[in-house]
């Protein structure tokens, strides 16, 4: 399985942008980069995904490095409800493996 | 919009008993994944199914088995339960294509006493 590396934890102030990094140096050409988040006592929730180009949706933006060995999830204005564990996952066709994510704390 | 439905929401069992967890994927989703999440841990992939056939296997104990039925719902059967099996069990579904996003259910909290 392709591996990802993320910081254990990050902190942000409310209403400020947050940049969550992910390294995936062993990514293959067909691996999609997915981001999910998990709030306490809830199932993981899809945030965004992409292959090569940067992606935007109503929740976040995904910036993918040109060599695809790293990516950054961008929350444009963090709210208290964004406090969660964020997982960066390389999407293989058959399996979908969570690694240690980044616990994001949002300070009021 | 329909979501992934898991039942039961909570389950309490004694050691050495058996348990069956059910997962109903979103309509027209033909791929199902099962995960186990212990307290304070990340979700661990157990097993996945595509079109009623097992497609991949993770760290699923031999005491556990699973299948996907003709209506695409899936069941995770757990026998000889141990205290360490106490965890939140998530099911996720995905439409065909292999690279689509996963939709997760709310999970089944299994407590083994």
Minimum Cα–Cα distance from A1: chain B residue: B58
Minimum Cα–Cα distance from B90: chain A residue: A43
- Stated as kind and residue range, the H or E segment containing B109 is strand B108-112
C-beta atoms surrounding B113 within 10 Å: 10
Q: Considering only CB atoms, which chain A residues are within 8 Å of B98?
A: 93-94
Give the pLDDT confidence of B76-113 residue by residue, as tens digits: 999 999 999 999 999 999 987 556 889 999 999 999 99
Q: Is A103 on the interface with B (CB under 8 A)?
A: no
How large is the average pLDDT for residues A41-66? Answer: 94
C-beta atoms surrounding A95 within 10 Å: 15
CB A54 within 8 A of CB A41: no
Q: How far apart are CA B7 and CA A94, in angstroms?
A: 24
Per-residue pLDDT at B67:
96
Q: How far apart are CA A67 and CA A42, in angstroms?
A: 34
How large is the average pLDDT for residues A14-41? Answer: 93
User: CB–CB of B56 and A94 under 8 A?
Assistant: yes
Q: Is B56 on the interface with A (CB under 8 A)?
A: yes
Q: Is the pLDDT of residue A26 over 80?
A: yes
Q: How far apart are CA B68 and CA B74, in angstroms?
A: 4
CA separation, residue B39 to residues A79, B17, B47, B85, B104 (Å): 25, 21, 20, 11, 18
User: CB–CB of B42 and A45 under 8 A?
Assistant: no
């Amino acid at each position: 399985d392709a591996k990802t590396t993320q910081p254990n934890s990050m902190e942000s102030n409310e209403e400020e942008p947050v940049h969550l990094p992910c390294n995936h140096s062993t990514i293959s050409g067909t691996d999609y980069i997915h981001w999910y988040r998990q709030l306490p006592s809830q199932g993981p929730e899809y945030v965004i995904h992409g292959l090569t180009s940067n992606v935007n949706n109503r929740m976040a933006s995904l910036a993918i490095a040109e060599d695809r060995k790293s990516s950054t999830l961008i929350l444009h204005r963090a709210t208290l409800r964004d406090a969660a564990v964020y997982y960066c996952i390389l999407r293989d066709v058959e399996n979908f493996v969570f690694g240690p994510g980044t616990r994001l704390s949002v300070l009021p | 919009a329909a979501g992934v439905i898991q039942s039961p929401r909570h389950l309490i069992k004694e050691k050495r008993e058996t348990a069956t967890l059910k997962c109903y994927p979103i309509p027209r989703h033909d791929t199902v994944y099962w995960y186990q999440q212990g307290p304070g841990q990340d979700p661990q992939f157990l097993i996945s199914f595509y079109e009623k056939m097992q497609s991949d296997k993770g760290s699923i104990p031999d005491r556990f088995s699973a299948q996907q039925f003709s209506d695409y719902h899936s069941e995770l059967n757990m026998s000889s339960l141990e205290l360490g099996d106490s965890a939140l069990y998530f099911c996720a579904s995905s439409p065909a294509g292999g690279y689509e996003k996963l939709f997760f259910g709310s999970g089944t909290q299994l407590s083994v006493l």
